[in-house]
A = this chain, B = another copy of it.
């Protein structure tokens, strides 16, 4: 008897598959105001783990968390011309507060450059105050006309870092450090995603930045998703806010700045990178639930045993949930955990207990086999590390097999049309070629140097443009 598929197959309709996964695995739901999102406990659990892993890496750089207000006076937005132009069409505006019309409307932050720079200009006085390294975990609002859960939402959660430095070089190095030691390290080591670090073209750069560094991931349909960006802001904001420090030799110098952010979009990326026709597959290092221990039947011996196994696995350092909801049919629960992508299921029924075993189902490689109960705590940590490595390998293999080296714009459009990425020499493409690609809804995701490193100069000979359709 063939099982009716719970989800639209990926190969049939990827966007619908994505919608199905979100609906069935229940990481989120649509909010009542258009484009907003309710992040349900399972999705928020993913975000909490992302936060914990990223926050530790951010603090390792010396940055400290702070919190700036949600509401920003509208006049602030006009201080840096490029910046305001970039955000104006997306703003949510508060015109009434406390029952009265406000003298000056306030915007709900679309990002916090403006308000944070206002405070930086007060807090930075001397070279002793530098570097000033601030990070914030917060919600932001950008009005979204074509919303899609996690990928484009009117409100999303993110971290935004903002720093001020004494020299151009220090700021450049810090932006690069965040790019590689925080973002890339987290994405590769925890999300098991084979992201490509690169540099944005002038066209794709953040409004008001000198340089934007990015990490691009290939999704299951061959499209690209920008995972996080780190910007060198130069002195544009410092000039707009007159943020100066007294140098050791007594001069009032403008600071050099960076900003960098990553968002709940990463949850969507996770789904589209590792998901398959049975649902999510969550990398074990990220998973809030690495192992679920299921009672197959309502039986006292079984219930006692699943709780005991749960305790033992927790003691072995694993993140474990016990599922003893025997008033819900076992099959339904098993499918649900599969949809949610929990890496390992330990299923315990009365017959298993007689044999001293449990069935171990591994979500990532697939498959199910009996394992001696006493061996679980020893086996599982190593298996989960294998699963983590397998996801990364599959992500790398997809990118490699679906990326084509081409030498003309036409070939690039063709390769992307076939569902993948193209690598084309930037010298062949240039800004005109980039504009031509845009007519085909293809963008330059990033520039990489000949040797695969991140180019210090966007126009260096040998730079290669990675082009794709993008989320």
- Contact (Cβ within 8 A) B31 A68: yes
In whole angstroms, how far apart are the Cα atoms of A177 and B40 in the complex? 24
Task: Assess whether A93 is interfacial by the CB under 8 Å rule.
Answer: yes
In whole angstroms, how far apart are the Cα atoms of A193 and B41 in the complex? 32
Task: Assess whether A97 is interfacial by the CB under 8 Å rule.
Answer: yes
| A-B contacts, 22 listed (Cβ < 8 Å) | A31-B68, A31-B69, A32-B72, A32-B115, A33-B71, A33-B72, A33-B73, A36-B69, A39-B66, A41-B65, A41-B66, A45-B64, A67-B157, A70-B108, A70-B139, A91-B96, A92-B96, A94-B108, A95-B95, A97-B143, A98-B145, A108-B108
Cβ-defined partner of A96 (8 Å) among B38, B68, B93, B327: B93
- Contact (Cβ within 8 A) A71 B139: no
Cβ-defined partner of A98 (8 Å) among B65, B89, B99, B106: B89
Chain A, residues 21-43, CB within 8 Å of chain B (1/0): the string is 00000000101110011111100
The 3 closest A-B pairs by CB, nearest first: A98-B143, A36-B69, A31-B69
- Contact (Cβ within 8 A) A33 B69: yes
Task: Assess whether A76 is interfacial by the CB under 8 Å rule.
Answer: yes
Chain A, residues 56-80, CB within 8 Å of chain B (1/0): the string is 0000000011111111110010000
Chain A, residues 100-119, CB within 8 Å of chain B (1/0): the string is 00000010100000010011
In the complex, residue of chain B having the shortest beta-carbon distance to the beta carbon of A67: B39
> In the complex where A92-B97, A99-B89 touch, is A141 in contact with B71 (Cβ < 8 A)?
yes
In the complex, residue of chain B having the shortest beta-carbon distance to the beta carbon of A96: B93
Note all chain B residues with C-beta closer than 8 A to A145.
Answer: 98
Task: Assess whether A88 is interfacial by the CB under 8 Å rule.
Answer: yes
Note all chain B residues with C-beta closer than 8 A to A36.
Answer: 69-71
Note all chain B residues with C-beta closer than 8 A to A98.
Answer: 89-92, 143-145
Cβ-defined partner of A33 (8 Å) among B65, B106, B141: B106
- Contact (Cβ within 8 A) B38 A119: yes
- Contact (Cβ within 8 A) A65 B38: no
Task: Assess whether A128 is interfacial by the CB under 8 Å rule.
Answer: yes
Task: Assess whether A155 is interfacial by the CB under 8 Å rule.
Answer: yes
In whole angstroms, how far apart are the Cα atoms of A95 and B91 in the complex? 11
Within 8 A of B (CB), among A420-446: none
Task: Assess whether A134 is interfacial by the CB under 8 Å rule.
Answer: yes
- Contact (Cβ within 8 A) B44 A67: yes
In whole angstroms, how far apart are the Cα atoms of A108 and B94 in the complex? 9
Task: Assess whether A1 is interfacial by the CB under 8 Å rule.
Answer: no
- Contact (Cβ within 8 A) B69 A37: yes
Note all chain B residues with C-beta closer than 8 A to A16.
Answer: none
What residues of chain A have their CB less than 8 Å away from a CB belonging to chain B? 29, 31-33, 36-41, 44-45, 47-48, 64-73, 76, 88-99, 106, 108, 115, 118-119, 122, 128, 134, 138-139, 141, 143-145, 154-155, 157, 325, 327-328
- Contact (Cβ within 8 A) A44 B72: no
Note all chain B residues with C-beta closer than 8 A to A39.
Answer: 66-68
Note all chain B residues with C-beta closer than 8 A to A95.
Answer: 93-96
Cβ-defined partner of A118 (8 Å) among B32, B65, B327: B32
In whole angstroms, how far apart are the Cα atoms of A68 and B30 in the complex? 10
- Contact (Cβ within 8 A) B106 A97: no
In the complex, residue of chain B having the shortest beta-carbon distance to the beta carbon of A64: B41
In whole angstroms, how far apart are the Cα atoms of A38 and B116 in the complex? 9
Given contacts A29-B122, A71-B141, A94-B94, 6 further A-B contacts (CB under 8 A): A31-B71, A33-B106, A41-B134, A70-B141, A93-B94, A128-B328
Note all chain B residues with C-beta closer than 8 A to A91.
Answer: 96-99
Note all chain B residues with C-beta closer than 8 A to A92.
Answer: 71, 94, 96-98, 106
In whole angstroms, how far apart are the Cα atoms of A450 and B41 in the complex? 41
Note all chain B residues with C-beta closer than 8 A to A155.
Answer: 69-71
Note all chain B residues with C-beta closer than 8 A to A76.
Answer: 32
Note all chain B residues with C-beta closer than 8 A to A139.
Answer: 70, 138-139
In whole angstroms, how far apart are the Cα atoms of A115 and B32 in the complex? 8
Note all chain B residues with C-beta closer than 8 A to A31.
Answer: 68-69, 71, 115
In whole angstroms, how far apart are the Cα atoms of A221 and B325 in the complex? 52
In whole angstroms, how far apart are the Cα atoms of A69 and B93 in the complex? 16
In the complex, residue of chain B having the shortest beta-carbon distance to the beta carbon of A114: B32
In whole angstroms, how far apart are the Cα atoms of A327 and B129 in the complex? 11
In the complex, residue of chain B having the shortest beta-carbon distance to the beta carbon of A104: B33
> In the complex where A38-B119, A89-B99 touch, is A48 in contact with B71 (Cβ < 8 A)?
no
In whole angstroms, how far apart are the Cα atoms of A38 and B29 in the complex? 31
In whole angstroms, how far apart are the Cα atoms of A70 and B142 in the complex? 12
